[in-house]
Amino acid sequence: MLFALLLIIVSCKTDKPEPILEDEFAAVIPPEDLKEFGFNLNDYIVKRDTIRNGDSFGLIMERYNVGYSKVFQIAEETRKDFDIRKLQVGKPYTVLCSKDSIQQALSFIYQPNREEYVVLNFKDSIHAFTSRKPIKYVEKEFTGVITSNISQTLSDQGVSLILAYKMSDIYAWSIDFTRLQPNDHFKVIYTDKYIDDTIYAGVDKIKAAYFEHKSEPFYAFEFEIDSDKGIHDYFNEKAHNLRRAFLKAPVEYKRISSRFNLNRRIALYGNKVRPHKGTDFAAAIGTPIRSTANGTVTKSAYTRGNGNYVKIRHNSAYETQYLHMKSQNVKAGQYVKQGDIIGWVGMTGNTSGPHVCYRFWKNGKQVDPFLQKLPQSEPISDSLKVKYLDFIKPLKLQIDAIKIRNSTILDSSPEDLITHLD
């Protein structure tokens, strides 16, 4: 009974597993003196795999010749440090086995994400700990000339499209990225993140950017405005905040399929006036929906007309609502920041196609957000302005010195390499 109970207790969690890309966690293993997870892997037979449907810690250990009584002991003595029931399907693990004919497991390493790993070591004494792999940040420069859109410009050179998303977020109130002009051009200084020197983990952040749109220049520099809370924002060369209190749109949309219109008539309803008090942004199912401003979620629910929806109160004057979601990512009472993902585009409720209906309240009345004079974000404080202008001087010199080239990526020099161990 004890062993049967153990198999149930340690069953891995299979509901809504996080998807991972094939080979996302693949590591390059040199032939000599390999060290990983704090172990010299040459001392072991190394087995790598991913959690599969139906797997549990007990079943995995059984494959590597560890008896149930030992499994129960490991589970009991490490439960304060790691709950082995939280293994998720698709996540990678490594088993270090003895270098003999039995090849018995001596250590189990589980990776809940690409940076963190959990070690259950039972070679001698039993103990568990969580650690992180070394992270290296590499500064890079990229320049591009728009021919069709910024995503195409980046993908043509094999650069992550996350860079385009980050740039469109920075310039959300300055440049409409759906209406870029041929020969608009840009320069950007950013950092890429690598795990264990070899595994690319994506774009980390943009340090500085320059975008020339319709012959008008737009600078952007990242600056920490609250060191205690770790809050960063982007400002131009004159220390003006690039953001508004509200984003223009809650999604990366293909088109506006229906605008705010109090006099809308629909033939299907006898050409009667049926006001549309929202703005419909057409987008593919599963597209992330983001909060357009900081605020507190007041509703995360379902109704027949709205489908899955979220409503957020931003302050005493403004509220926003997001309708027809595939699913929500927040709960009532939760505080969200501008840009946080609150759900995903769907077709729930009364709708004929995938979109998000974005509704906007001002002083209790639904209004067209595009006709409002929305407030600016908090300006940089006078006490920080001098510090900011000094901070951006070398960055502005660096970005001004970058020559515009037709979609050419430039790696920074070795002395620009930024290395940090997390």
Question: Residue 216 and residue 368: Cα distance in Å, rounded?
Answer: 28
Mean pLDDT, residues 299-324:
93
* d(C-alpha 345, C-alpha 201), whole Å: 26
Q: Thinking of the domain 136-244+378-420, which architecture would CATH place it in?
A: Roll (3.10)
Integer Cα distance of 247 and 169 in angstroms: 9
The pTM assigned to this predicted structure is 0.55
Q: Tell me the percentage of the chain whose pLDDT exceeds 90.
A: 44
Counting beta carbons within 10 angstroms of the beta carbon of residue 322, is it exposed (0 to 12), middle (13 to 18) or buried (19 or more)?
buried
Average pLDDT over all residues of the chain: 82
Which CATH superfamily includes the segment(s) 255-371? Glucose Permease (Domain IIA) (2.70.70.10)
Q: Kindly indicate the confidence band of residue 386, based on its pLDDT and cuts at 50, 70 and 90.
A: very high
Domain 2-132, CATH number (from 1.10.730.10, 3.30.70.580, 3.40.50.300, 3.10.450.350)? 3.10.450.350
User: pLDDT class for 73, splitting at 50, 70, 90?
Assistant: very high
Compute the average pLDDT of residues 57-80: 92
Range scoring the smallest mean pLDDT among 59-73, 165-179, 263-277: 263-277
Longest dimension (CA), the chain: 82
| % the chain with pLDDT above 70 | 82
Going from N- to C-terminal start, the domains of the chain cover 2-132, 136-244+378-420, 255-371
Per-residue pLDDT, 4: 43
Confidence of residue 5 (pLDDT cuts 50, 70, 90): very low
Q: How far apart are CA 65 and CA 56, in angstroms?
A: 15
What's the confidence (pLDDT) of residue 378? 67
Q: Are 289 and 348 in contact (CB under 8 A)?
A: no
pLDDT score at 278: 85
> Residue 255 — φ and ψ, nearest 5°?
-165, 160
Question: Residue 86 is which amino acid?
Answer: K
Instruction: Give me the mean pLDDT over the 71-76 stretch.
Output: 92
**Tokens 């490490």 — which residue?**
78
State yes or no: pLDDT of 357 exceeds 50: yes
pLDDT tens digits for 85-125?
Answer: 889 999 999 999 999 999 999 999 999 988 899 999 999 89
Can you give the pLDDT at residue 376? 67
Q: Could you tell me the two tokens for 101? A: 């004919």
CA distance 79 to 120: 10
Q: Model confidence at 262, in pLDDT bands (50, 70, 90)?
A: low
The answer, yes or no, to whether residue 410 has pLDDT greater than 50, is yes
Please determine, for residue 187, whether its predicted confidence score (pLDDT) is greater than 70: yes
Give 149 or 145, the one with higher predicted confidence.
145
CA-CA distance, 3 to 253, in Å (whole number)? 53
Q: Does the fold of domain 136-244+378-420 match that of domain 2-132?
A: yes
